[in-house]
Structure 1
């Protein structure tokens, strides 16, 4: 006797609701992925994919280098997915968010903080993470603390710069513009930013950087300048990717829970699909300061 194989119950449910049982994750970058950035995105995608599968959904990844609007328009109008996770490696948020709102596609912004837009997002606590890093340097006795930010990521870099400024203010130290530098995602840009800081008549005794990748380039610049971390300059990164513990010395950094970001993005999206009347979901994931060997008390002069 032949066996009749009926579709799973969730198949019939998806037909009734006109659902695809798929979640799209749209990743935009202005430059091809490097080994370091790939690790960052992989951890987020791993959290999202595992959670999607456990909840009966497939995760579809859309990777775009360059034009955001055209790719996003195609994804929205293809009806291949039920909802979208929007993850921008760099660039501004307004244009893609405006498009998604116009197309009425359920979405959530991942690890960016669109302050002026009332939309759903899951974001690491960039501001307090940065503040904890700079407070750590103050506790060690540093006063001239520099910051290297990111031109290509105004939202995240702005949040981390705000944390840097808060720490300065809590110690009654005015912002010194000469101690603030920026870099881009272009290779060696953070190296060059660190060089400018080192060439000042009174160089900083500590540097907090936008990311671990920035810190690695800064570390090379410091070494090429004939100085030693942390004997001459303390250095702190952000992210806690594998490279942070492999540098010499191992890097003090702020750890993001990247897997949890991906997990909560999926959970929040599906929560929105179940109840479309609820307000936007806005969650902040705590960060953790990881102290290693790249920070120490400033050398006596």
Structure 2
């Protein structure tokens, strides 16, 4: 491996001068800088990240805490897109990302201990159980943290505007004449609670009764569970005219249940989803849903985390809310 000393010997200057030239210091002439940069490139020099970390107290590495109960991992389109935009923004700012887990080889350690072991400059937490001891240990630690879709009083959070999304969907369905509306909730979380509250509030504002029998507890990203719950709803004597699915992916189970019952969407029953994943618009009929702005969520998470790392004295804790937009689709029938 080529060292600063190797470059200094070749060019006949001190190691300090080489270091200053490669790090952009102004007290090295432009001619000398260009000569040293050219030599470094020709010799195949790459800076040592460990040495840089010792000098700057920064590794330029961001940790990612990411897991989901369904075990879908990066096949979960919403979070995959969020993390991809996070990665793009982080890399543009000169940072690498590392996925954090509890194991290093055969050694067991907490997530916070792993963050310390990897010496990450900051951590983003997404799609996980925010009530675990592991998360609280990171939240209460001394590493800069940004959360996605969950709020802690002491940490910056990037939130999709779940209440607004549900409100827009309710208003759209109500404008299409629907009054008996069922709602299949995702697994209990801050996001699920906000969406349910938004649904109930929007229905109340439109004078629509929220019947307890039409509020069912389901799971996110779980078509099988959604299939079962949809079967229950359409078996009612006074079945709903429209069903809100937990998310677009889960809606595949709901659509399957409707088809298996000899009914069609939207002629016999209407359906709406949530997330706006690409697959939702490949279905027949295209799904009416709410598109979350994954690019903006991931980009904002990276920007805020890097700002917390690089400008801690001028960056404050905040909640950033990101709006999406309704996709009309063709899965809601007009009944007035």
User: One fold, TM greater than 0.5?
Assistant: yes
CA distance in 1, matches of 2:202, 2:180: 12
Matches within 5 A, 1:92-111: 92-93=130-131, 95-110=133-148
Q: Confirm whether residue 246 of structure 1 aligns to residue 268 of structure 2.
A: no
Counterpart in 2 of 1:258?
294
Question: Which residue among 202, 206, 215 is the counterpart of 1:180?
Answer: 215
Counterpart in 1 of 2:120?
81
Matches within 5 A, 1:1-301: 2=10, 6=18, 8-9=22-23, 14-33=53-72, 37=76, 39-62=77-100, 70-89=109-128, 91-93=129-131, 95-110=133-148, 112-114=149-151, 117-151=153-187, 153-184=188-219, 185-186=221-222, 188-277=224-313, 278-298=315-335
Change (3 A) 1:257 1:71: farther
* Cα displacement (A) at 1:58: 1.0
Counterpart in 1 of 2:40?
none
- TM-score, scaled relative to structure 1: 0.88
Instruction: Report the secondary structure of 1:24's partner residue.
Output: strand
* Cα displacement (A) at 1:280: 0.8
CA distance in 1, matches of 2:102, 2:247: 22
- TM-score, scaled relative to structure 2: 0.79
CA distance in 2, matches of 1:63, 1:222: 40
CA distance in 1, matches of 2:183, 2:238: 15
Higher relative contact order (Cα pairs below 8 Å, separated by 6+ residues)? 1
- State whether residues 268 and 281 of structure 1, in contact with CA within 8 Å, keep that contact through their aligned partners in structure 2: no
Provide structure 2 residue ranges, at least 5 long, that are not aligned to the other structure: 1-8, 25-46
- State whether residues 127 and 163 of structure 1, in contact with CA within 8 Å, keep that contact through their aligned partners in structure 2: yes
CA distance in 1, matches of 2:74, 2:125: 21
Instruction: Report the secondary structure of 1:29's partner residue.
Output: coil
Change (3 A) 1:284 1:64: farther
Aligned residue pairs total 291
Provide structure 1 residue ranges, at least 5 long, that are not aligned to the other structure: none
Instruction: Report the secondary structure of 1:263's partner residue.
Output: helix
Change (3 A) 1:102 1:73: same
Change (3 A) 1:188 1:63: farther
* Cα displacement (A) at 1:159: 1.1
CA distance in 1, matches of 2:102, 2:162: 25
Q: How big is each residue's C-alpha offset from its partner over 1:35-87, in whole Å with a ceiling of 9 and x where there is no partner?
A: 851x222211210111111111112223689xxx9551332321431000001
CA distance in 2, matches of 1:70, 1:193: 39
Rg bigger for which structure?
2
- State whether residues 182 and 190 of structure 1, in contact with CA within 8 Å, keep that contact through their aligned partners in structure 2: no
